[in-house]
């Protein structure tokens, strides 16, 4: 059989390598996670631990070394100072439910792209000496530049307003809002907002689940009632807690305070001071 005139058997199919032929449909960027290890953000490796006492109770810090371009805006002593400024009764919790640790984490590259955040609360973490609830505070690049859409819902608008108060530079154009955070701006967000916000989630859980259960309530029913609450309402409770105590600590003169960086003490604890210090600027040439 003779081929049709003009037909070339070696000609490449124009659909090869295109979405029509399936290209790109199964190569989405995802954060790798091993089964049984919990969420990807909770997987911590290569870290140092430091112990401090807050209101007479031990609090363990897990510190990851930041990668190039990142640092931890809050030092261990910064976090201890804020938590120690809170009244002791705020941090009091039934045995086994109190805050067990603070994790200064370095997010992976994919986590920065797909799941960027300021911090998180782990309800129960088993990591070295940390056995119980823990607050995560993520390392950040300095400076950090954020872009927010002009089309925001009510919760997003409220969050934008909170970030505007702490940003070092803010401007808007016809396409988006642009916020720039230097080291001090990042520290304000993490230390005076995120830390208190995540603590607010934990205190809310104590008040709504743990303490009623100790008074004779049904644990499963209390958990179900807590989990069935809309996420928006839980976030509002944590925001109110953070705003109330941030304002109270400001009125008492506890915050703001200068960044606590003691390189000798960090080295004595086995920490690298470079994890908390911005890179030195190159010398100027003349």
285 domain-assigned: no
34 domain-assigned: no
Q: Which residue has tokens 């990668």?
A: 67
The neighbouring-strand residues paired with 64 are: 47
What's the pLDDT score for residue 9? Answer: 63
In this structure, are residues 59 and 100 in contact, taking their beta carbons and an 8 Å threshold? yes
How do 140-141 and 70-71 pair as beta strands? antiparallel
215 domain-assigned: yes
List the one residue out of 63, 23, 19 whose CA is nearest residue 45: 63
Task: Using alpha carbons, list the distances in angstroms from residue 81 to 104, 186, 249.
Answer: 16, 17, 11
200 domain-assigned: yes
pLDDT tens across the length of the chain (286 residues) = 565 666 676 676 777 778 777 776 666 777 776 655 667 667 788 899 999 999 999 999 999 999 999 999 999 999 999 999 999 999 988 787 899 999 999 998 888 888 788 999 998 888 989 999 999 999 999 999 999 999 999 998 999 999 999 999 999 999 999 999 999 999 999 999 999 999 999 999 999 999 999 889 898 999 999 999 999 999 999 999 999 999 999 999 999 999 999 999 999 999 999 999 987 654 444 4
pTM equals: 0.86
What's the pLDDT score for residue 29? Answer: 74
267 domain-assigned: yes
Q: How many CB atoms lie within 10 A of CB 275?
A: 19
How do 47-54 and 57-64 pair as beta strands? antiparallel
List the one residue out of 163, 156, 233 whose CA is nearest residue 192: 163
What's the pLDDT score for residue 150? Answer: 92
Measured CA to CA, the distance from residue 45 to residue 31 in angstroms comes to: 16
Per the structure, how many domains does the chain have? Answer: 1
What's the pLDDT score for residue 278? Answer: 87
Q: How many CB atoms lie within 10 A of CB 81?
A: 17
226 domain-assigned: yes
The neighbouring-strand residues paired with 122 are: 134
Residue-range definition of the domain harbouring residue 66: 40-142+182-271
What's the pLDDT score for residue 286? Answer: 43
Distance from CA of residue 129 to its chain's centroid?
21
What's the pLDDT score for residue 44? Answer: 81
220 domain-assigned: yes
Q: Is 145 helix (H, G, I), strand (E, B) or coil?
A: strand
In this structure, are residues 230 and 117 in contact, taking their beta carbons and an 8 Å threshold? no
25 domain-assigned: no
């Amino acid at each position: 059989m003779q081929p049709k005139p003009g037909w070339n058997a070696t000609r490449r199919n124009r659909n090869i390598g295109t979405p029509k032929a399936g290209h790109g449909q199964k190569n989405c960027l995802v954060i790798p996670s091993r089964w049984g290890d919990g969420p990807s953000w909770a997987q911590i490796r290569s870290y140092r631990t430091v112990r401090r006492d807050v209101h007479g109770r031990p609090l363990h810090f897990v510190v990851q070394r930041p990668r190039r371009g990142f640092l931890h805006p809050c030092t261990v002593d910064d976090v201890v100072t804020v938590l120690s400024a809170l009244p002791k009764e705020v941090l009091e919790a039934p045995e086994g439910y109190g805050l067990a640790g603070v994790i200064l984490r370095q997010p992976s590259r994919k986590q920065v792209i797909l799941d960027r955040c300021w911090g998180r609360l782990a309800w129960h973490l088993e990591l070295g000496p940390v056995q119980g609830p823990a607050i995560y505070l993520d390392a950040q690049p300095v400076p950090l530049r954020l872009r927010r859409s002009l089309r925001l819902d009510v919760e997003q608008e409220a969050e934008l307003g909170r970030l505007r108060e702490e940003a070092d530079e803010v401007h808007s154009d016809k396409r988006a809002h642009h916020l720039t955070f230097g080291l001090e701006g990042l520290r304000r967000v993490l230390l005076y907002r995120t830390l208190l916000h995540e603590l607010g989630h934990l205190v809310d859980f104590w008040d709504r689940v743990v303490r009623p259960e100790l008074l004779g309530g049904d644990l499963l029913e209390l958990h179900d009632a807590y989990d069935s609450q809309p996420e928006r309402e839980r976030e509002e409770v944590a925001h109110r807690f953070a705003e109330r105590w941030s304002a109270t600590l400001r009125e008492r003169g506890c915050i703001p305070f200068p960044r606590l960086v003691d390189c000798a003490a960090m080295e004595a604890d086995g920490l690298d001071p470079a994890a908390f210090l911005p890179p030195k600027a190159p010398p100027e040439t003349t």
